[in-house]
């Protein structure tokens, strides 16, 4: 087939083990997400009230092909009786496959102590098994488990399959087993394509742990982890593999989250992977056809939904930080606040829980319509907002945590700004002085729902074209928190999640969110804000004593930082000075941040100190007053 005619994600499949629920739940979710087929995981079938024939009919009704039955374990044995039992077991499974209407079974390399460790003998046993399968029109896809007793690399599995030399015996390549061992996938290109019976794709974070545990608990969909999946897939396709792109991901979170959402996340991962491979090696075929991500130009605005309690608090804080209320929406109860190029919308209609919450991100896009079309092609829910005829039709999608993402342009006369009637006030800074002020939004910090952290990383990476940064973990007072930024030149979003589900004892701020405003002189901006009444968060002296011991800042500067509650992180690239306000309305706060040199992080190392300070205020204020 000519490369130009081939589409790389023409057939997509997902193993039922990736999804939560019963077999029926999983099949419905896979079909709803647009998958073309499934791998039926045997334990899902065994637990199902549907007979194999009924599963076949259900899949056909849903438009799903059954691409693979899996797994058949420990096929070979040095014990002749056990090998005979393996053949008998295989015949029963072949009966099931025939009833299911699937022709390929995944055969895993043995993990048993009686695994055959002689290549010729192993090839002979697999040949015998393949002869039985072939006689019934079935095929065996032999997979090297990374922890197999003898066969644990794709090179070894190919050696055995080549030696067995039976048309009903080929390979299953699983990216996790190959990449987790650090094998070089380039050699796959030399394997004849007709011997590549099946391909299973999974990503994973870099972890230093037992490979079996790593595989069973921490696999991720492509684009969510650290493996270079495009570099893996390219030689597989170059070898001539023509089967489906199929996902096999064992993950503790996916096993318990809504399968409908997980399936959408999964399909998005395959579309993005196919796009990445097509971009890297155009000769292999075309991507799935999503428009490329338009250039982004920074944060146009951040919208907060506020109620009668949170709204005045947030507005007062913005005013003290130097913002002015410059506009009021022509048809909705939404105020526009501005300082420099930082813009905040306060929306009193937003449907949200609590007194104040970040409800939308406005992202500058060179082509908002193309951004929305790309989002739709990558399975993101596109929002259709009712708007008056003379108002901007904003292109928007919903992120996994429910935050609305608007693609917009601020620099045109027809853009979103024209929906706001001017109040007559000029944009801030408005402190009655001309000192350094807020210049723009540096980043937005969003706590993600436990079930959707990895989904969010892939969403921002694929839909917006942002680059995920490496994850860091910190230990604040109430349990480990993972941080991972996604960014490009002008847009930064800091995602975080508690690493375990929170229990009932949760005295910290629940699911905190913040907007970080950039300034060129945080000490001067913070001082002006404090003098104007901004509720800056007090930081304990212990922090500054420790800072003095670690970094030895200039004493006058240290004194100013101590006075204003400014925190400081330093790395080999530069320095990050940041100060937070108190929490406004339950979960939202603002930050003033200054990047010095080429510092590129988020001051995550200081997060435990900030969180403890927020907790202190929360407990002081919630303590019952003595009569
Ligand atoms: Mg596998």
Tokens representing residue 82 in the block: 């056990």
Q: What pLDDT score was predicted for residue 307?
A: 93
**What is the spatial distance between Cα 295 and Cα 275, in angstroms, rounded to a whole number?**
17
For residue 268, how far is the Cα from the chain centroid?
11
**What is the spatial distance between Cα 380 and Cα 394, in angstroms, rounded to a whole number?**
16
**Which is nearest to 198 in space by CA: 37, 109, 3, 67?**
67
pLDDT at 384 over 80: no
Quick one: average pLDDT of 400-409? 94
Q: What pLDDT score was predicted for residue 395?
A: 86
Q: What pLDDT score was predicted for residue 386?
A: 66
Which segments of 165-239 does DSSP mark as H helices, in order? 175-179, 211-218, 229-238
Distance of CA 143 from the midpoint of ligand 1 (Å): 7
Quick one: average pLDDT of 240-261? 94
Tokens representing residue 289 in the block: 């056809």
Instruction: Indicate if 200 and 327 belong to the same structural domain.
Output: no
pLDDT at 390 over 90: no
pLDDT tens for 27-66 read: 999 999 999 999 999 999 999 999 999 999 999 999 999 9
Q: What pLDDT score was predicted for residue 621?
A: 62
Q: How far is CA 263 from CA 17, 212, 269, 374, in A?
A: 11, 24, 10, 19
**What is the spatial distance between Cα 127 and Cα 145, in angstroms, rounded to a whole number?**
19
Distance of CA 40 from the midpoint of ligand 1 (Å): 12
Instruction: Indicate if 363 and 498 belong to the same structural domain.
Output: yes
Distance of CA 174 from the midpoint of ligand 1 (Å): 5
Asked if residue 1 is part of any domain, the answer here is no
Cα Rg of the chain, angstroms: 28
For residue 269, report the phi and psi dihedrals to the nearest 5 degrees: -65, -40
606: domain CATH number?
Answer: 3.10.180.10
Adjacent-strand bridge partners of 398: 404
208: domain CATH number?
Answer: 3.20.20.150
pLDDT at 1 over 50: no
Distance of CA 246 from the midpoint of ligand 1 (Å): 10
Tokens representing residue 179 in the block: 């990449």
Q: Are 491 and 298 in contact (CB under 8 A)?
A: yes
For residue 328, how far is the Cα from the chain centroid?
35
Instruction: Indicate if 468 and 555 belong to the same structural domain.
Output: yes
**Which is nearest to 220 in space by CA: 203, 234, 206, 198?**
203
Distance of CA 494 from the midpoint of ligand 1 (Å): 33
Distance of CA 453 from the midpoint of ligand 1 (Å): 24
DSSP structure class, residue 194 = G
For the chain, percent of residues with pLDDT exceeding 90: 82
pTM equals: 0.92
Quick one: average pLDDT of 553-563? 97
Adjacent-strand bridge partners of 336: 327, 345
**What is the spatial distance between Cα 579 and Cα 528, in angstroms, rounded to a whole number?**
13
Quick one: average pLDDT of 243-261? 94
Asked if residue 627 is part of any domain, the answer here is no
Distance of CA 418 from the midpoint of ligand 1 (Å): 54
Distance of CA 360 from the midpoint of ligand 1 (Å): 39
Distance of CA 31 from the midpoint of ligand 1 (Å): 21
Q: Are 245 and 274 in contact (CB under 8 A)?
A: yes
Quick one: average pLDDT of 221-249? 96
**What is the spatial distance between Cα 521 and Cα 562, in angstroms, rounded to a whole number?**
16
Q: How far is CA 380 from CA 461, 463, 499, in A?
A: 12, 8, 25
Distance of CA 89 from the midpoint of ligand 1 (Å): 20
Instruction: Indicate if 422 and 445 belong to the same structural domain.
Output: yes
Asked if residue 374 is part of any domain, the answer here is yes
> Tokens 């917006």 label which residue?
464
Q: Are 41 and 272 in contact (CB under 8 A)?
A: no
pLDDT band at 2 (very low <50, low <70, confident <90, very high): very low
Distance of CA 413 from the midpoint of ligand 1 (Å): 54
DSSP structure class, residue 538 = P
Distance of CA 109 from the midpoint of ligand 1 (Å): 11
Tokens representing residue 485 in the block: 């930024």
**What is the spatial distance between Cα 518 and Cα 465, in angstroms, rounded to a whole number?**
23
Q: Are 234 and 201 in contact (CB under 8 A)?
A: no
Quick one: average pLDDT of 153-175? 98
3-state helix, strand, coil in the chain (%, to 5): 35, 25, 35
Distance of CA 214 from the midpoint of ligand 1 (Å): 13
Distance of CA 405 from the midpoint of ligand 1 (Å): 36
Distance of CA 161 from the midpoint of ligand 1 (Å): 17
Domain count, the chain: 2
Tokens representing residue 562 in the block: 């101590």
Distance of CA 347 from the midpoint of ligand 1 (Å): 48
For the chain, percent of residues with pLDDT exceeding 70: 94
For residue 515, how far is the Cα from the chain centroid?
21
Adjacent-strand bridge partners of 468: 486
**Which is nearest to 249 in space by CA: 230, 274, 223?**
223
DSSP structure class, residue 431 = S
Distance of CA 394 from the midpoint of ligand 1 (Å): 43
pLDDT tens for 292-307 read: 999 999 999 999 999 9
Angle at which helix 229-238 crosses helix 259-280, to 10 degrees, equals: 70
Asked if residue 6 is part of any domain, the answer here is no
Tokens representing residue 96 in the block: 């099931």
Instruction: Indicate if 180 and 268 belong to the same structural domain.
Output: yes
Structural domain of 592: 296-619
Quick one: average pLDDT of 145-150? 97
Instruction: Indicate if 260 and 300 belong to the same structural domain.
Output: no
Distance of CA 16 from the midpoint of ligand 1 (Å): 12
Distance of CA 249 from the midpoint of ligand 1 (Å): 8
Instruction: Indicate if 130 and 64 belong to the same structural domain.
Output: yes
Instruction: Indicate if 252 and 307 belong to the same structural domain.
Output: no
Distance of CA 179 from the midpoint of ligand 1 (Å): 12
Q: What pLDDT score was predicted for residue 19?
A: 97
Instruction: Indicate if 420 and 364 belong to the same structural domain.
Output: yes
Distance of CA 570 from the midpoint of ligand 1 (Å): 43
Domain stop point among 262, 284, 306: 284
Asked if residue 291 is part of any domain, the answer here is no
**Which is nearest to 102 in space by CA: 154, 137, 148, 63?**
137
Asked if residue 289 is part of any domain, the answer here is no
Q: How far is CA 289 from CA 13, 251, 292, 456, 518, in A?
A: 18, 29, 9, 22, 37
Distance of CA 62 from the midpoint of ligand 1 (Å): 24
DSSP structure class, residue 355 = S
Distance of CA 248 from the midpoint of ligand 1 (Å): 6
What mean pLDDT is reported for the chain?
93
3-state SS class at 379: coil
**Which is nearest to 406 in space by CA: 343, 339, 496?**
343
Quick one: average pLDDT of 220-249? 96
**What is the spatial distance between Cα 11 and Cα 2, in angstroms, rounded to a whole number?**
17
Domain stop point among 237, 256, 284: 284
pLDDT tens for 578-593 read: 999 999 988 999 999 9
Angle at which helix 259-280 crosses helix 453-463, to 10 degrees, equals: 40
**What is the spatial distance between Cα 587 and Cα 483, in angstroms, rounded to a whole number?**
17
Distance of CA 325 from the midpoint of ligand 1 (Å): 57
pLDDT band at 501 (very low <50, low <70, confident <90, very high): low
Instruction: Indicate if 353 and 411 belong to the same structural domain.
Output: yes
Alpha carbons within 13 angstroms on the beta-carbon side of residue 427 total 14
Q: What pLDDT score was predicted for residue 586?
A: 85
Distance of CA 352 from the midpoint of ligand 1 (Å): 42
Distance of CA 256 from the midpoint of ligand 1 (Å): 20
3-state SS class at 477: coil
Q: What pLDDT score was predicted for residue 626?
A: 52
Distance of CA 142 from the midpoint of ligand 1 (Å): 10
pLDDT tens for 263-283 read: 999 999 999 999 999 999 999
Distance of CA 12 from the midpoint of ligand 1 (Å): 16
Instruction: Indicate if 321 and 257 belong to the same structural domain.
Output: no
Distance of CA 332 from the midpoint of ligand 1 (Å): 52
Asked if residue 470 is part of any domain, the answer here is yes
Asked if residue 290 is part of any domain, the answer here is no
Of the ranges 116-120, 210-214, 446-450, 612-616, the best mean pLDDT one: 116-120
**What is the spatial distance between Cα 340 and Cα 427, in angstroms, rounded to a whole number?**
7
pLDDT band at 479 (very low <50, low <70, confident <90, very high): confident
Instruction: Indicate if 302 and 386 belong to the same structural domain.
Output: yes
Tokens representing residue 16 in the block: 């039922």
| 220-234, 378-392, 534-548: least confident range | 378-392
Domain stop point among 253, 284, 315: 284
551-586 core/surface letters (b: 16 or more CB in 10 A; e: else): eebeeeebebbbebbbbbbbeeeebbbbbbbbbbbb
């Amino acid at each position: 087939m000519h490369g130009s005619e081939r589409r790389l994600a023409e057939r997509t499949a997902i193993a039922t083990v990736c999804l939560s629920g019963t077999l029926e739940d999983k099949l419905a979710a896979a079909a709803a997400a647009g998958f073309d087929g499934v791998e039926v995981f045997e334990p899902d079938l065994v637990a199902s009230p549907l007979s194999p024939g009924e599963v076949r009919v259900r899949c056909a009704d849903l438009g799903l092909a059954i691409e693979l039955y899996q797994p058949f374990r420990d096929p070979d044995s040095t014990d002749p009786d056990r090998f005979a039992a393996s053949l008998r077991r295989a015949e029963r499974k072949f009966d099931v496959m025939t009833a299911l209407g699937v022709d390929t079974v995944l055969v895993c390399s043995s993990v048993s102590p009686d695994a055959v460790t002689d290549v010729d003998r192993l090839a002979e046993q697999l040949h015998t098994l393949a002869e039985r399968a072939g006689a019934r029109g079935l095929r065996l896809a032999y997979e090297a488990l990374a922890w197999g007793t003898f066969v644990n690399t794709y090179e070894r599995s190919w050696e055995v399959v080549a030696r067995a030399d039976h048309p009903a015996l080929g390979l299953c390549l699983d990216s996790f087993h190959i990449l987790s061992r650090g094998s070089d996938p380039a050699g796959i290109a030399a394997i004849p394509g007709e011997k590549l019976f099946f391909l299973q794709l999974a990503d994973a974070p870099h972890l230093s742990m037992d490979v079996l545990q790593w595989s069973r608990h921490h696999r991720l969909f492509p684009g969510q982890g650290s493996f270079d999946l495009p570099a893996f897939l390219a030689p597989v396709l170059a070898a001539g593999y023509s089967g489906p792109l199929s996902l096999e991901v064992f993950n503790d979170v996916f096993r318990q989250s809504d399968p409908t959402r997980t399936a959408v996340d999964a399909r998005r991962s395959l579309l993005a992977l196919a796009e990445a491979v097509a971009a890297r090696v155009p000769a292999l075929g075309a991507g799935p056809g999503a428009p490329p991500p338009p250039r982004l130009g920074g944060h146009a605005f951040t919208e907060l939904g506020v109620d009668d309690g949170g709204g005045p608090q947030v507005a007062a804080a913005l005013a003290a930080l130097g913002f002015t209320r410059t506009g009021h929406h022509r048809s909705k109860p939404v105020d526009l606040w501005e300082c420099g190029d930082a813009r905040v919308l306060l929306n009193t209609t937003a449907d949200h829980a609590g007194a104040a919450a970040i409800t939308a991100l406005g992202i500058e896009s060179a082509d908002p319509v193309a951004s929305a079309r790309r989002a739709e092609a990558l399975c993101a829910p596109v929002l259709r907002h009712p708007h008056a005829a003379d108002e901007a039709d904003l292109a928007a999608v919903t992120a996994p945590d429910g935050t609305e993402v608007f693609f917009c342009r601020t620099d045109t006369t027809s853009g979103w700004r024209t929906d706001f009637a001017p109040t007559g006030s000029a944009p801030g800074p408005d402190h009655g002085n001309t000192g350094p002020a807020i210049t723009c939004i540096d980043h937005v910090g969003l706590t993600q729902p436990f079930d959707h952290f990895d989904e969010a990383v892939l969403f921002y990476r694929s839909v917006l074209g942002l680059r995920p940064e490496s994850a860091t973990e910190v230990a604040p007072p109430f349990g480990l928190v993972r941080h991972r930024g996604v960014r490009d030149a002008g847009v930064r979003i800091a995602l975080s999640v508690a690493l375990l589900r929170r229990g009932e004892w949760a005295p910290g701020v629940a699911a905190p969110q913040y907007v970080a405003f950039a300034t060129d002189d945080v000490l001067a901006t913070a001082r002006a804000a404090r003098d104007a009444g901004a509720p800056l968060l007090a930081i304990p002296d212990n922090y500054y004593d420790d800072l003095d011991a670690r970094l030895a800042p200039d004493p006058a500067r240290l004194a100013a930082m101590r006075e204003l509650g400014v925190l400081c992180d330093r790395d080999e690239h530069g320095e990050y000075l940041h100060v937070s306000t108190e929490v406004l309305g339950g979960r939202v706060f603002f930050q003033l941040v200054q990047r010095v040199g080429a510092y590129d992080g988020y001051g995550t190392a200081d997060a435990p100190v900030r969180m403890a300070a927020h907790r202190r205020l929360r407990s002081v204020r919630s303590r019952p007053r003595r009569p």
